[in-house]
Structure 1
């Protein structure tokens, strides 16, 4: 097998593993706060704190993972992260107390905090720079196709009155993650990026600079601020607040939650590659501003679903539309979020750049779930919608200003 054929084979295996794991993730993604609150009988604020432990762990393990990835290879790091998060997800099915849930969620977060940056770095080693936005968009589409399939299944089988239904989906999710690990461990062990880059092993004086060199890159620091804002006002609120808002405040059923996430992923799968082609020559900072605008519309639709006097059907439609609109914003964000850190990173620090980008994501996700829980448990839960609406606007504005410091070849990578 030639080197090129090996790279193509490795890339295909990444997509297959992504799909398998994503189906399992889709089973559980909408339901962690609901599971802790409705099945394990924790208050919404406490459930939010438990979920935040995932981000807290990620702050430590993400930075450590960046060092290990540059020294050992991002493929090896990815394999370890998948094994840890897979076993911990299975254990989550039997987490019955706040303490046990915190421990298990922390382990899941630790595994995921090294998995995602390692996977992004692994893709970057297999795909030429010019093709990276399309590659990240394609993987994001496959990821969401799997999540959508899982969400539809979960919405059909999960019941708030049957704890066993929640326990089952966490076991399945864990085993699909472990299956991805098997694919990586056996299928990509000879692929580019699985082991450390030769220059990374030989140039010890450059490696020793480590995170000091990364943090001296003011362009990358600007990106870290932007990604933290989008993580906090976007994904952290979807994962930690939207399902609770839909079920506890609006009164939707788990089936509607599953349909909502299926709509979200469906929009991404259908429109992702079209959006990449349409925005090919757009400035990346304008794409980030577009994310903020679209997410504002998504949160506005979610707020309208709680207007008094609406029928259940109209409220359900509003909730589903909110996640569908949110998904369109994700199609603008995904090509930028995957490619930009790798376009800024020198080869010998690629894992650290991706690790810090993931750590910034963790910072955003730590405070999100507890704040969502507190606001939704207050006497005026609609303040949560107002809060995330304004926050999305701020994230979009900061993303637009990032274009002032990005190099032209990174801001407009396809400019001829």
Structure 2
């Protein structure tokens, strides 16, 4: 079956979720690179303001993810997912009116709380609207569409910011307003499209016994989260930190060269999930995830070699490394998302996906800290060695991950999700 056929075979609710997530990703991309520039060069705040705003967002994201993950176990998907999107939309809209540092920090808190909830609840919603054997397709399509739409958003946002109309504050305000509208559009779509998954009395009593502690006591879930953290630390967590830091520190690649590397990243992250996952369908998932660790290690080998060269040779080596890093990202995200959601019951799904999202966010915080500490060691050699060791660890841990349950095996534990999805496709779109 072709990739397009697989996506078309997804339940209607999952396809609407994919559409709405793409729309939201365009909005996110429009403001993604600009927060520091906006608050310092446009609003003329001191540098402590964006630094504190980013830290506030990260802290609020942890609390928000845990909160929305718990709420999802007690409220319907078609209420919690829209609520998280409205929450994030209000936060990013507030940035447009950040005339003083206090408003900027309040916006950071609201946005961080909400956007983490969006990540956790949307990942859970894909699992709730698909069968076990469809989830890799759903998560792969989402990863590809999200990267493509974010790329479109980044380009569009850059063009709007560079246009000669109004004031810079107005132009950036428009960007944040469009971002907010994209979240509100997703809220409207998911309000009508997602399952109601109303919790009955017996299920509610069962849910009360499922907390974060009970999930973290599960060895299989801990292994998945550990593998995700290791893989993210050497890929996603370094893409805006250690990787450009090393290349610039060694005078291998200039700023315009980094833009080429970003383009390579987007292209590979779009192509691999959409067009190559079908080729890997018969390869054991543990082996694919181990290969992703080796790809990450290969990335840092190429980055080290790029640091030993200059000009076009350095750029070619750096782009080769970024391509391998992107392959690793494209395997890890969808495969581990499907795996962890196939391991847990529907009652555990909200909290489990919150832990999944927080683990990824944690890598984005720890990654730059590792880079900052190790880049000065041996002209960056200490950093490269640490990345190679962590990549090897990610590959080894992948070999010990639990096997993804087959759809038949999952049927008993997945319970009401499939029937809820079928009923939703027939009638829930018409409910408010």
Please give the TM-score of this superposition, normalised by the length of structure 1: 0.79
Q: 1:125 aligns with which of 125, 128, 135?
A: 128
**What's the offset of the Cα at 1:342?**
0.6
Q: Which residue of 2 aligns with 1:209?
A: 209
Change (3 A) 1:381 1:101: farther
Contact (CA 8 Å) 2:286, 2:398: kept in 1 or not? yes
Aligned length, in residue pairs = 395
1:364-404 deviation per Cα after TM superposition (whole angstroms, max 9, x unaligned):
233334555x459x867963x85366336425524532443
Contact 1:82 1:112 in 2 (8 A): yes
> What is the alpha-carbon distance in structure 2 between the residues aligned to residue 407 and residue 332 of structure 1?
16
Larger Rg belongs to = 2
Q: What residue number does 1:145 align with?
A: 148
State how 1:199-348 maps to structure 2 within 5 Å: 199=200, 201-211=201-211, 212-239=213-240, 252-253=254-255, 259-302=260-303, 310-311=310-311, 322-348=321-347
- Which 5+ residue runs of structure 1 have no aligned equivalent? none
Picking from 60, 81, 85, the partner of 1:57 is 60
Worse-matched range after superposition: 6-15 or 22-31: 6-15
- Shift of the 400–371 alpha-carbon distance from structure 1 to 2, 3 Å rule, reads closer
Q: State the shift of 1:226 in Å.
A: 1.9
User: CA shift at 1:351, angstroms?
Assistant: 1.1
Indicate yes or no: 2:144 matched with 1:172.
no
Tell me how far apart the structure 2 counterparts of residues 402 and 319 of structure 1 sit (CA, whole Å).
26
Contact 1:95–1:101 at 8 Å: present in 2 too?
A: yes
Change over 3 Å in CA distance of 1:16–1:167 after alignment to 2: same
Q: Supply the distance in 1 between the matched residues of 2:154 and 2:378 (Cα, whole angstroms).
A: 26
Q: How does 1:89-128 map to 2 (within 5 A)?
A: 89-95=92-98, 100-128=103-131
How many angstroms does 1:234 deviate by? 2.5
- Contact kept in structure 1, 2:88 and 2:112, CA below 8 Å: yes
1:397 maps to 393
388-397 vs 146-155, greater mean Cα deviation = 388-397
Q: Quote how far apart the aligned CAs of 1:319 are.
A: 5.5
**1:151–1:262 Cα contact (<8 Å) kept:** no
Mapped contact 2:299–2:321 kept (Cα < 8 A): yes
Instruction: List alignment gaps of at least 5 residues for structure 2.
Output: 1-7, 411-432
Whole-angstrom distance in 1 between the partners of 2:257 and 2:101: 27
Q: Over the residues paired in the alignment, what is the CA RMSD in angstroms?
A: 3.9
Contact 1:57 1:106 survives alignment (8 Å): yes
1:225, 1:79 → 2: CA distance? 30
In structure 2, distance between residues paired with 1:248 and 1:100: 35
Displacement of 1:202: 2.9
Q: C-alpha offsets along residues 49-102 of structure 1, whole Å, 9 cap, x if unaligned?
A: 642433322222212212100100233221111111122123334547666544
Distance across 1 between alignment mates of 2:64 and 2:144: 27
- Is the Cα contact below 8 Å between 1:291 and 1:332 reproduced in 2? yes
Distance in 2 (CA, whole Å) between partners of 1:22 and 1:143 is: 6
Once the two structures are TM-superposed, the CA of residue 137 in structure 1 deviates from its matched residue by 0.6
Q: Structure 2 CA distance, aligned partners of 1:95 and 1:303?
A: 41
**Contact map agreement 1:86 1:174 (CA 8 A) in 2:** yes
For residues 213-239 of structure 1, what are the alpha-carbon distances to aligned partners after superposition, in whole Å with 9 as ceiling and x for unaligned? Answer: 312211101112222233333323324
Contact 1:28/1:154 (CA < 8 Å) preserved in 2?
yes
Distance 1:221 1:274, change over 3 A: same
Structure 2 counterpart of 1:356: 355
Asked if the contact 1:137/1:335 (under 8 Å) is kept, the reply is: yes
Query: How many Å separate the matches in 2 of 1:139 and 1:22?
Result: 10
CA contact (8 A) 1:23 1:148 kept: yes
Farther-moved stretch of structure 1 (388-397 vs 65-74): 388-397
Q: Deviation digits for residues 299-327 of structure 1, max 9, x if unmatched?
A: 4545555557x34x666666555544432
